[in-house]
Amino acid sequence: MKRILSILFSLIALTLSASAEGPAQVYVLNLDDEIGSTTWLYTRNALDAARDMDADMILVHLNTYGGSVVHADSIRTALLNYPRPVVAFVDNNAASAGALIALACDTVIMRPGATMGAVTVVSGTDGTAMPDKYQSYMRAMMRSTAEHHGKYLTPDSVMKWRRDPLIAEAMVDSRVSVPGLIDSTRVLTFTTDEALHWGYADGRASSIHEVLDNLGVKSYTTTTYAPSWVDRLIGFFTSPGVQALLIMLIIGGIYMEMQTAGMGFPSVVAITAAVLYFLPLYIVGIASSWIVVLFVVGLILILLEIFVVPGFGITGISGILCISAAIIIGLIEHMTFSLGFYDSDSLITSLVIFCAGVVLAIALIWYLTSSYGPRWARRHTELLLTQQVKDGYIGVDMSPKRFIGHTGVAVTDLRPAGKVLVDGETLDAVATMSFIPAGQKVDIVRYENAQIYVTRSL
């Protein structure tokens, strides 16, 4: 084993020394966060930058508890196919998806006290282990990654795997046992010493300087990938929570616009949210062009429904379906990241994010259109003005209603209209049932349409 490690390190040092006359150029990629679309974007950018500068080595500085298997597979594939040496420095943690990334590297150096393993696929909602078909795919992925490193000839003329595929499977499935290492009741996680003993680590180091020293690289310059503000912004807008909020604004803005005349603030909100939703996905290469076209078609259909087609019918429904389909498919492509690998968990995650956005939109619409909402929103959905006399409005005087049940005297003959005296006030009145002569006592029986009605008092 020591012989093969010596040969491996020598080859790396030879590659580095032969690639340039001056110091070796080492490109450092820090993966110290949850593995997801953002870390995959950083990896792609870093590998492109390393190619542009003709770097001699990629050093992946790992400290992660894992994340999305789909994006980890993208990173794994990119590292396996990179033409120059790739070294993983496990700085404390390479758990779950992080272990897959470490296994994809040509050389693994671990910090004393670090751990690597526990690659079981779990649900993103409650953390429970996924069904066996998911574990089967992950076992095969780990096994093929281990097999990629090939075999070597021992002093006893026996061919052995450099990274034993069975050990890789044991990191995924507790049912896999490795004689002398782990039984079939636990998922495998290596310490640094265990990884060194079983061939899953090639050395130990406490810093990048020690890593390169172990590899025999004495003269070098390092360049560390630093995400630009655009990269960070794209990572922010492609996070599930922000995507749910953008979906809320898209749906809420479209609904509020359909309730108002003309184009106004809700349209601006919906269009801005749509741009912030689709543009980052398109820039990264997640969302296909036809998805954006589908959303625009849906938006045009809704505008036709508002301004051209009377009522609400097939045009509006088709527009809503196109927009919903574009959003959901964009989410699914975000989850699968155009790998050609699709599973129902990606669909479920996408639908959960979409439904969360719809629920938030309903809550927002209810708030804006309720009596608790801001006045600028409520003015489109309810009557807020009152007709005040001081503003020139003339209302009906209801004060004579207080005389109902009182007794008065007819001032003039009621044939049937006339005047009566009630509690010292002379009022217009209408007799019911029969005419009433002047001087006759009357009873006020009702007040309707700004008019008092009376009957002869018994």
C-alpha–C-alpha distance, residues 253 and 139, integer Å: 45
User: Between 174 and 15, whose confidence is greater?
Assistant: 174
For residue 351, give the amino acid letter: L
Maximum mean pLDDT: which of 173-182, 263-272, 302-311: 173-182
Q: Residue 82 has what pLDDT?
A: 94
Confidence of residue 272 (pLDDT cuts 50, 70, 90): confident
Q: Do 432 and 455 meet the contact criterion of CB atoms below 8 Å apart? A: yes
Closest by CA position to 256, among listed 405, 367, 119: 367
Q: Residue 341 has what pLDDT?
A: 40
Q: Is the pLDDT of residue 57 over 80?
A: yes
Q: Residue 250 has what pLDDT?
A: 85
What is the share, in percent, of the chain residues with pLDDT greater than 90?
Answer: 33
Range with the poorest average pLDDT among 2-6, 36-40, 227-231, 328-332: 2-6
Q: Residue 339 has what pLDDT?
A: 36
User: Between 78 and 292, whose confidence is greater?
Assistant: 78
Q: What kind and span of H or E run contains 447?
A: strand 441-448
- Is residue 146 classed as helix, strand or coil in its secondary structure? helix
Residues written for the chain: 458
What pLDDT, in 10s, does the model give residues 362-404? 887 777 777 666 665 555 555 445 566 566 666 677 788 888 8
Burial class (CB in 10 A: 0-12, 13-18, 19+), 274: buried
Q: Residue 4 has what pLDDT?
A: 47
**How, if at all, do strands 115-117 and 189-191 pair?**
antiparallel
What pLDDT, in 10s, does the model give residues 334-360? 544 433 344 555 567 677 778 888 888
Q: Residue 270 has what pLDDT?
A: 83
User: Between 280 and 263, whose confidence is greater?
Assistant: 280
Q: For 25, phi and psi rounded to 5 degrees? A: -95, 115
In this prediction, residues 167-181 reach a mean pLDDT of 91
Closest by CA position to 361, among listed 408, 327, 313: 327
In this prediction, residues 16-34 reach a mean pLDDT of 78
Q: Which residues of 23-62 are buried (b: 16+ CB within 10 A; e: fewer)?
A: ebbbbbbbbeeebbbbbbbbbebbbeebeeeebbbbbbbb
Tokens coding 361: 């939109």
In this prediction, residues 292-316 reach a mean pLDDT of 78
**In whole numbers, what is the pLDDT of the chain averaged over residues?**
82
The model's pTM: 0.63
C-alpha–C-alpha distance, residues 112 and 131, integer Å: 34
What pLDDT, in 10s, does the model give residues 94-141? 999 999 999 999 999 999 999 999 998 887 666 778 888 888 889 999
In this prediction, residues 151-162 reach a mean pLDDT of 86
Q: Residue 400 has what pLDDT?
A: 84
